[in-house]
Amino acid sequence: MEANLARAEALLTALITLQVMLGWRAAQRERPRLHRALMLSAVFTSVVFLIPFVGRLAEFGLRPFRLAGHWSTLYWVVFATHDLAALLSVPVLLVALGLGLAERRVDHRDVSAIALPLWLYTLVTGLVLYVLLFEL
């Protein structure tokens, strides 16, 4: 059950990553309606992600990392920076979302320059943590 929930989280994370990257590309290509649709989809999918994530944490707690040596060092560095980036990204993403919805494009672009790398780092390191915890 725990592994199935984690697998669902990883699939949702991969989908969010794709939505964010395609949304960023749409913005770069000056396709604001597509950008908006993709980014709103990414935000919605992020909220959906929280269902299995919170459920798994409530039911099973944090999964201990079982490998030692360099793997353990890698895990703890990725885990710590992932959690920090996730914590920092939420308010920045909410501001970027609000500015985008308000069509304050210059401000949205400036805040998104911070939000995008934070969000992508959180997503990619989330996938790395899934592999380290459930696939090794």
Q: pLDDT tens digits, residue range 56-87?
A: 999 999 999 999 999 999 999 999 999 999 99
State how far the Cα of 114 lies from the Cα of 83, in Å rounded to an integer.
Answer: 16
> pTM for the full model?
0.95
Quick one: residue 65, left, alpha or beta (phi over 0 = left, psi -120 to 50 = alpha)?
beta
Residue 46 CA to residue 85 CA, distance in Å, equals 15
Q: How far apart are CA 93 and CA 122, in angstroms?
A: 12
